[in-house]
Amino acid sequence: MLTKRMEILKKYQLKAALTLCEPFYLPEAFYRDHPHWRGPRCDHPRRARNTYYSPCIDQPRVLDVYKKTMAQLLSFIDVDYMTIYTNDSGGGLCWSKGLYNGANGPSFCKDRSPADRITGFLGALRQGALMAGKELDIEIHSNIGYKEPEHALDNVWPKLADHTAVNGRTNKGTPMTYRVNLNYENTFSPVKNIPLAFEFAQQLENAYKSDSEHIHLLLPSSDFDAYFHIAKRFIKKPVFGLYDRVVLLRDVATELVGMPYADTLLSVWQSIDRAWWHFIDTHIEGLNICSVNQRWINRPFVLFPHELTEEERGYYRAFQFQANDEKQANDLLNFQCTSFIRGYYAVWIASSILERAGNCIKSAVCELDAIKNDDQSISKSICILKDRLKLLRCFFKNAVHAMKFQDIVDNIDYSEEPEISPRWPIDAQPEFLEYQAITRAEIDNTQEMIELIQGRESKMLFVAPTKEGEDIFVFSPELVSQMKKKIDIMLNHELDGKRVFVTNNK
């Protein structure tokens, strides 16, 4: 695969960049045979069902393997930049406080300084590159996402060799790389190709003004190749300030849809940008963490999920990410053994923000209706963008319904049977009416999603190429049939509310 990617790069006279997670864990059987290689535990104690260990990079033999592996790797791919993430996703450093399990590792290296450990590791990788005749810039990061900063590593930079960096700083105290990254994977994904033009232009300007040695420019896919056009114009003539950025974006919009509709497309991009910022304010780590990892999109919302048959739950249960038992799996708000949102006010705030985001997306769809272009390719791009935006709004609605539904479940006293009073007329419990409203709204929302994606699943969403390729991070290409099953199950269990709520008697 790497060789094929390298052939593409050579075609355009480009070199490669590598992104890795190291030192990465090795199978337990290996450590039983090589006990001195066992480094720190790098598994997440709340989520993992087994212990996992990274190799100890303070062991000379381990560094020697890294050196030789690097030399071998660079003998057939032309790389001049590498970034490494650690203390996350299966990798970790001995005695680092940023490890999921806290500082741990073998007694052998407990008293070695973080600076010596890091410089030794980066030095071995650089030596391997030099053995292959390559000059390589390497940086390693441990400050990832919401994790607490690794202060011990933050202070390593004065001792670094040239061409290396730790947590964004070289031995000059300046950043090696500025990342222009919209973090799409942790926002609007799995919906495809929603353009974030305003944020992209802002990040380009920030990168240009930074004193970094490199710019890591990630160009996500879009229906108009909008990011490519924005970057191309910016590189030709950098802009500074809001006014100049808007002028640049308007020029790009004119290039894409013509002068009569440039302001309209610009307004669409602005509405999407506002929706993006609203979504970020929920502090949900992207639609992937809930809609995909917990299968909100295709799992039924029912009051007694533990009573579902294997046929009713088997198609989604196997693909729930890090649910260690059935209680966790049945909880819609349990994300990887953690509840980021819980309780009435938290749900109300997050739902209100998502509804604002949805209204921004609705405005963007209405604005796109005004763009009429005789160019068939542009017309098709406008149509599919509208449908993708409608689908994104459905994802927002699904998230709102899931949060509100679980909040109802969390406040049910399942041990108490509802009163069946002879009084007439009486109203139902407010919770019963809310349960009915959410259930119906989610069924209707699911049906709308089916109509938007049916027959073009891979154009609208990131889905596996085959049924067998479905996993916790990607939907099945048979998602539509699963969503239809979700609707059927919810309808079959529609009367479950009578078991826990007082109903109307009028």
User: pLDDT by residue (tens digit) across 26-83?
Assistant: 999 999 999 999 999 999 998 888 999 999 999 999 999 999 999 999 998 999 999 9
Helix/strand/coil for 84: strand
- Per DSSP (E only), the strands in 90-249 are 137-141, 164-166, 177-180, 214-217
Fill in the DSSP letter of residue 99: S
- Contacts for 490 with CB less than 8 Å, ≥ 6 apart: 300, 301, 302, 439, 442, 443
The size of the chain, in residues, is: 506
For residue 158, pLDDT beyond 90: yes
What's the pLDDT score for residue 190?
96
Decide: 91 and 54 in contact? Cβ < 8 Å: yes
Q: Which of 457, 340, 333 is nearest to 387 (CA)?
A: 457
What's the pLDDT score for residue 372?
82
What's the pLDDT score for residue 477?
97
What's the pLDDT score for residue 285?
85
Q: Which whole number is the average pLDDT over 236-243? A: 96
CB atoms within 10 A of CB 145: 8
Q: Which of 216, 357, 383 is nearest to 287 (CA)?
A: 357
Q: Give the pLDDT band (50/70/90) at residue 297.
A: very high
**H-type alpha helices, 318-469:** 326-330, 344-368, 376-410, 430-453, 457-460
Q: Give the pLDDT band (50/70/90) at residue 145.
A: confident
Taking the C-alpha atoms of residue 179 and residue 182, their distance in angstroms, rounded to an integer, is 9
CB atoms within 10 A of CB 27: 9
For residue 438, pLDDT beyond 80: yes
DSSP assignment of 11-55, as one string? HTT--EEEEEE-SBPB-HHHHHH-GGGEEEE-S-TTT-SS--EEE
What's the pLDDT score for residue 294?
94
Element (H, E) at 295: none
**Token representation of residue 165:** 């960096």
What's the pLDDT score for residue 304?
98
What SS3 string covers 176-216?
CEEEECCCHHHCCCCECCCCCHHHHHHHHHHHHHCCCCEEE
What's the pLDDT score for residue 199?
97
For residue 148, pLDDT beyond 80: no
What's the pLDDT score for residue 340?
80
**Token representation of residue 261:** 């509709």
What's the pLDDT score for residue 319?
94
For residue 308, pLDDT beyond 80: yes
- Contacts for 31 with CB less than 8 Å, ≥ 6 apart: 37, 38, 53
Give me the residue label for tokens 């019963």.
432
Q: Give the pLDDT band (50/70/90) at residue 499.
A: very high
For 125, 208, 240, the CA distances from 212, given in Å and listed in that order, are 22, 9, 17
Taking the C-alpha atoms of residue 98 and residue 488, their distance in angstroms, rounded to an integer, is 46
For residue 7, pLDDT beyond 80: yes
Helix/strand/coil for 235: helix
pLDDT digits (tens, 9 = 90+) for 411-423: 999 998 888 877 8
Q: Which whole number is the average pLDDT over 275-286? A: 93
For residue 447, pLDDT beyond 80: yes
**Token representation of residue 228:** 């490519």
Q: Which of 288, 298, 271 is nearest to 453 (CA)?
A: 298
Give me the residue label for tokens 């290039």.
255
pLDDT digits (tens, 9 = 90+) for 177-222: 999 999 898 899 999 999 999 999 999 999 999 999 999 888 888 8
Average pLDDT of the chain, as a whole number: 94
What's the pLDDT score for residue 488?
98
pLDDT digits (tens, 9 = 90+) for 221-234: 888 889 999 999 99
Q: Give the pLDDT band (50/70/90) at residue 137.
A: very high
Q: How far is CA 136 from the centre of its chain?
A: 29
For residue 337, pLDDT beyond 80: no
What's the pLDDT score for residue 420?
82
For residue 316, pLDDT beyond 90: yes
For residue 248, pLDDT beyond 90: yes
Decide: 303 and 412 in contact? Cβ < 8 Å: yes
Decide: 234 and 204 in contact? Cβ < 8 Å: yes
